[in-house]
Structure 1
Amino acid sequence: METSVPEPGTTYQAAGVDNERADLGLKRIISRVRQTWPQGNEPGALQLDIGHYASVIDAGGIGLAIATDGIGSKAIIAQMVDRYDTVGIDCVAMNANDLICVGATPLSMVDYMAVQDPHPDLLDDLSKGLCAGAEMANISISGGETAQLPSVITGYKEGFGFDLAGTAVGTVPLGKIIVGRGIEPGDVVVGIESNGIHSNGLSLARYIFFEQHDYTVETRFPELRQPLGDELLEPTHIYVREALAVLSSDVALKALVHITGDGFLNLNRVDSEVGFVIDQLPPVPPIFSLMQQLGQVSDEEMFRVFNMGVGFCMIVPAHEAERVISIVNEHGKQAYAIGYAVADPEKHIHIVQKGIVGKGKTFLKSD
């Protein structure tokens, strides 16, 4: 398959995010942490290699799924808008959505708040969002840590710098862990709508709107239904309830894919020798089109960084796609049959409407 190098434009790396360098460091981390793994069937034996959305260990015959994540630079958007009561939802979403990707039922989460200054109102607002997200995901917040780090944490608003992360756990029967095995050509990709930018790509968004251009969080664009800052702060959708509804049905659900960092390239994380043809994308939300236009960002970079309006995918046999869409719709979100699997050991991702093909960590123009 012939592909061409993308034309120059604003990139994630230009905004300060160097994923290639981070991946080199990650390889070193992985080589070390694998040395801590129990051997054979010892207590705590890992059931999955690193690289899946969540880890699963054998906890006395029960699969204990574990995921950890944070809200990234969405914390800066919260400071710019001076509103902190929704980013906790993002924190829950980033963890709970990853747990369900291995077929687990999320149960509980602990949080980590690192703050420049322990303003009581800030901490209270962060906890409001965590509790709202916990209700949406049907989990508990069972504890956490608040660290006062004035020499480490800084931010956009003096004294209000913070970071927010969490670790969530859930359970999955050891024989029912889902990692995308058994996907066959013709299986359908059901895409579920996102709520905007979610919690990935905010560094690039800030770079375009606030550094390349002099917009503010109060700026209103005709394309957007609310001020720019509020649009960027929209909470990440939590997909737990609809995913568990499909999991509890008799649908032959083969994979669940959270469209986070790396965008649609997350589809090639499935454990099958397939690629995907995405040929029925829903309309792209205006926030993405606006960023692409203002930043002159290539299609290749947009689909590598952002969710482009699809925050989660389920892969099912073709004859069950409409049933899955109906289940998702019953839970208040729009879902679409956006593409299908094809036999492909190299695991290419074809975005037909844009004429781009992804492999590994990169999208390129197809010739």
Structure 2
Amino acid sequence: GAEPIAFVDYLALEKVDPAMSEQIAIGLERGAEISNMSIVGGETASLPEIIRGFDLAGTCIGVVDKEHVVTGEKIQVGDVVLGVPSSGLHSNGYTLARRIVEQSSYTYFDQMPGSSRSIGEELLEPTRIYREALEAIRECEVHGLAHITGSGLLKLHRITRFGFEITDPLEPQPVFRFLQELGGVEDREMYRTFNMGMGLVAVVPEDDVKRACQILGAKEIGSIVESGLKSGSLVL
């Protein structure tokens, strides 16, 4: 629940490419603008002996009152689980996604079925930044927050010792169904690898569900139970 205030980036290149560096800078500036923070410094290095392509990393500094840190300790059985939509793959699951596409007859430049964009454009949709989560924390009693990143819904286990029963999951974007059908991937593996349309999960008491959903653009998807992790008929 920290308020972001500053960002520092690091870019290592195999060789200097001004056009690519400019595009990276534009993306970083856009992310900082959405997050309402400043890029206060950075480092660019040319390392042809070490790097192939480029390596980009960053550090974000935020502030939060110690007593307001959302740790998950307040989560209890009966709390409501809210799902916030993702914008796409969110930078996770690309090892599987690339393998599926590259072992098929498609290329990244082909139009994705059911979409006006190419497969590559769908896969490169920028990760959503959930700035509105800070407003939810200020206005509601938020017991837990979890980004759904690598390992998909399994990430929920890291915020509480209790279990999750997802009874009404968000509808995945078409890109997930395309990858699943193209690669013949089982539902269980999809939910253990990708966010499947849900990039952030919030846990709140019943009294705060309506307001939290309004702020986050979220939907009630389930509840906290004693143990386990179940999404529909899938036991994860």
TM-score w.r.t. length of structure 1: 0.62
Query: Could you tell me which residue of structure 2 aligns to residue 142 of structure 1?
Result: 40
Query: Could you tell me which residue of structure 2 aligns to residue 106 of structure 1?
Result: 4
Does residue 112 of structure 2 align to residue 221 of structure 1?
yes
Query: Could you tell me which residue of structure 1 aligns to residue 149 of structure 2?
Result: 260
Does residue 202 of structure 2 align to residue 314 of structure 1?
yes
Q: Deviations over 1:149-188 (max 9, x none)?
A: 222222xxxxxx2121111110111222211112111111
Query: Could you tell me which residue of structure 1 aligns to residue 166 of structure 2?
Result: 278
Q: Distance in 2 between matches of 1:166 and 1:134?
A: 12
Does residue 83 of structure 2 align to residue 191 of structure 1?
yes
Query: Could you tell me which residue of structure 2 aligns to residue 356 of structure 1?
Result: 234
Which letter does structure 2 place at the counterpart of 1:337?
E
Q: Distance in 2 between matches of 1:265 and 1:318?
A: 24
Query: Could you tell me which residue of structure 2 aligns to residue 341 of structure 1?
Result: 224
Q: Structure 2 stretches of 5 or more lacking a match?
A: none
Query: Could you tell me which residue of structure 2 aligns to residue 305 of structure 1?
Result: 193
- How far apart are 1:245 and its partner, in Å? 0.9
Q: Any idea what SS the aligned residue of 1:191 has? A: strand
- Percentage of pairs with the same residue: 43
Q: Any idea what SS the aligned residue of 1:245 has? A: helix
Contact 2:152 2:192 in 1 (8 A): yes
Q: Any idea what SS the aligned residue of 1:264 has? A: helix
Q: Distance in 2 between matches of 1:217 and 1:259?
A: 25
Q: Any idea what SS the aligned residue of 2:199 has? A: strand
- How far apart are 1:222 and its partner, in Å? 2.5
Q: Distance in 1 between matches of 2:42 and 2:175?
A: 34
Query: Could you tell me which residue of structure 2 aligns to residue 61 of structure 1?
Result: none
Q: Any idea what SS the aligned residue of 2:142 has? A: coil
Contact 2:144 2:202 in 1 (8 A): yes
Which letter does structure 2 place at the counterpart of 1:138?
N
Contact 2:35 2:129 in 1 (8 A): yes
Q: Deviations over 1:90-121 (max 9, x none)?
A: xxxxxxxxxxxxx2111111111111111111
Q: How does 1:146-185 map to 2 (within 5 A)?
A: 146-154=44-52, 161-185=53-77
Q: Distance in 2 between matches of 1:244 and 1:176?
A: 11
Residue 205 (structure 1) aligned to one of 70, 74, 97: 97
Q: Distance in 2 between matches of 1:280 and 1:311?
A: 15
Q: Structure 1 stretches of 5 or more lacking a match?
A: 1-102, 155-160, 330-334, 359-367
Q: Distance in 1 between matches of 2:106 and 2:49?
A: 30
Q: Any idea what SS the aligned residue of 1:248 has? A: helix
Which letter does structure 2 place at the counterpart of 1:119?
D
Q: Distance in 2 between matches of 1:213 and 1:291?
A: 10
Q: Any idea what SS the aligned residue of 1:338 has? A: strand
Q: Distance in 2 between matches of 1:141 and 1:208?
A: 36
Q: Distance in 2 between matches of 1:202 and 1:252?
A: 35
CA RMSD for the aligned pairs?
1.2
Query: Could you tell me which residue of structure 2 aligns to residue 237 of structure 1?
Result: 128
Q: Any idea what SS the aligned residue of 1:109 has? A: strand
Which letter does structure 1 place at the counterpart of 2:219?
Y
Q: Distance in 1 between matches of 2:127 and 2:195?
A: 11
Contact 2:29 2:39 in 1 (8 A): yes
Q: Any idea what SS the aligned residue of 2:149 has? A: coil
Which letter does structure 2 place at the counterpart of 1:314?
A
- How far apart are 1:221 and its partner, in Å? 2.6
Q: Any idea what SS the aligned residue of 1:219 has? A: coil
Structure with higher RCO (Cα < 8 A, 6+ apart): 2
Q: Any idea what SS the aligned residue of 2:75 has? A: coil
- How far apart are 1:145 and its partner, in Å? 1.4
Contact 2:101 2:108 in 1 (8 A): no
Q: Distance in 2 between matches of 1:137 and 1:162?
A: 24
Q: How does 1:280-295 map to 2 (within 5 A)?
A: 280-295=168-183
